[in-house]
Amino acid sequence: VVNHQPLSVSHTHSPATQQPVPVSIGSQSNTTMTPKAPAAAAEVAVEESGPAAGNSPYQLRRKSLLPKRTASSTAGASTSTTEPFGHRAKRARVSGKSHDLPAAPAEQYLQQKLPDEVVLKIFSYLLEQDLCQTACVCKRFSQLANDPILWKRLYMEVFEYTRPMMHPEPGKFYQVSPEEHDHPNPWKDSFQQLYKGAHVKPGFAEHFYSNPGRYKGRENMLYYDTIEDALGGVQEAHFEGLIFVHSGIYTDEWIYIESPITMIGAAPGKVSDKVVIENTRDSTFVFMEGSEDAYVGYMTIRFNPDDKSAQHHNAHHCLEITVNCSPNIDHCIIRSTCTVGSAVCVSGQGACPSIKHCNISDCENVGLYITDHAQGIYEDNEISNNALAGIWVKNHGNPIIRRNHIHHGRDVGVFTFDHGMGYFESCNIHRNRIAGFEVKAYANPTVVRCEIHHGQTGGIYVHEKGRGQFIENKIYANNFAGVWITSNSDPTIRGNAIFNGNQGGVYIFGDGRGLIEGNDIHGNALAGIQIRTNSCPIVRHNKIHDGQHGGIYVHEKGQGVIEENEVYSNTLAGVWVTTGSTPVLRRNRIHSGKQVGVYFYDNGHGVLEDNDIYNHMYSGVQIRTGSNPKIRRNKIWGGQNGGILVYNSGLENCRSKFAPFVKITISQTHIYFCDYLNEHSKVI
Convert the pLDDT of each residue in 595-628 to its tens digit.
999 999 999 999 999 999 999 999 999 999 999 9
Q: What pLDDT sits at residue 458?
A: 94
Distances (CA, A) of 600 to 574, 585, 624, 641: 11, 12, 6, 16
Please give the CATH architecture assigned to the domain spanning 112-193.
Up-down Bundle (1.20)
Q: What pLDDT sits at residue 221?
A: 87
Cβ–Cβ under 8 Å, residues 630 and 608: yes
Q: Taking residues 400-423, report their average pLDDT.
A: 98
Q: Beta strands 165-169 and 172-175: pairing type? A: antiparallel
Q: Taking residues 349-378, report their average pLDDT.
A: 97
The CA distance from 160 to 58, in Å, is: 35
186-194 vs 148-159: helix crossing angle, rounded to 10: 40
Predicted structure pTM score? 0.80
At 168, which amino acid appears? P
Q: State the pLDDT confidence band at 682, using cuts at 50, 70 and 90.
A: very low
CB atoms within 10 A of CB 172: 12
Which range has the worst mean pLDDT, 2-6, 390-394, 401-405, 487-491?
2-6
At 497, which amino acid appears? A
pLDDT exceeds 70 at position 11:
no
Cβ neighbours of residue 336 under 8 Å, at least 6 residues apart? 302, 303, 304, 317, 318, 342, 343, 363, 364, 365
Q: State the pLDDT confidence band at 653, using cuts at 50, 70 and 90.
A: low
Q: What pLDDT sits at residue 428?
A: 98
Q: What pLDDT sits at residue 220?
A: 80
Q: What mean pLDDT value characterizes the chain?
A: 83
- What residue ranges do the domains of the chain occupy? 112-193
pLDDT exceeds 70 at position 33:
no
The CA distance from 261 to 296, in Å, is: 8
What is the Cα 615 distance to its own chain's centre? 50
Task: Please list the residues that pair with 377 across neighbouring strands.
Answer: 354, 400
Give percent of the chain with pLDDT exceeding 70.
80
The CA distance from 134 to 87, in Å, is: 9
Alpha-carbon torsion (382, 384, 388, 390), positive or negative: positive
Which residue would you say has higher pLDDT here, 116 or 271?
A: 271
Which residue would you say has higher pLDDT here, 355 or 114?
A: 355
Q: What pLDDT sits at residue 113?
A: 79
According to the per-residue pLDDT averaged within each range, which of 235-249, 373-387, 655-669 is highest?
A: 373-387
* DSSP codes joined into one string, 200-246: E-TTHHHHHHT-TTTTTT-TT-EEESSHHHHHHHHHTTSS-SEEEEE
Task: Please list the residues that pair with 524 across neighbouring strands.
Answer: none
Q: Compute the CA torsion angle 673, 675, 680, 682 (nearest 10 deg).
A: 10
pLDDT exceeds 90 at position 389:
yes
Convert the pLDDT of each residue in 436-482 to its tens digit.
999 999 999 999 999 999 999 999 999 999 999 999 999 999 999 99
Exposure b/e, 546-578, CB count within 10 A at least 16 = b: bbebbbbbbbebbbbebbebbbbbbebbbbbbb
Convert the pLDDT of each residue in 566-576 to its tens digit.
999 999 999 99
Strand residue runs (E) in 322-436: 328-336, 342-347, 354-356, 359-361, 366-371, 377-379, 382-384, 391-394, 400-402, 405-407, 414-417, 423-425, 428-430
Q: State the pLDDT confidence band at 49, using cuts at 50, 70 and 90.
A: very low
HSE-up of residue 377 (Cα within 13 Å, Cβ side): 9
Which residue would you say has higher pLDDT here, 427 or 71?
A: 427
Convert the pLDDT of each residue in 61-118 to its tens digit.
444 444 444 433 333 333 333 344 344 444 444 334 444 556 567 777 777 778 989 9
Alpha-carbon torsion (99, 103, 104, 107), positive or negative: positive
Q: What pLDDT sits at residue 652?
A: 56
Alpha-carbon torsion (78, 82, 88, 93), positive or negative: negative
Which range has the worst mean pLDDT, 58-62, 206-210, 396-400?
58-62
- Backbone dihedral angles phi then psi of residue 219, each to the nearest 5 degrees: -60, -25
Q: What pLDDT sits at residue 104?
A: 66
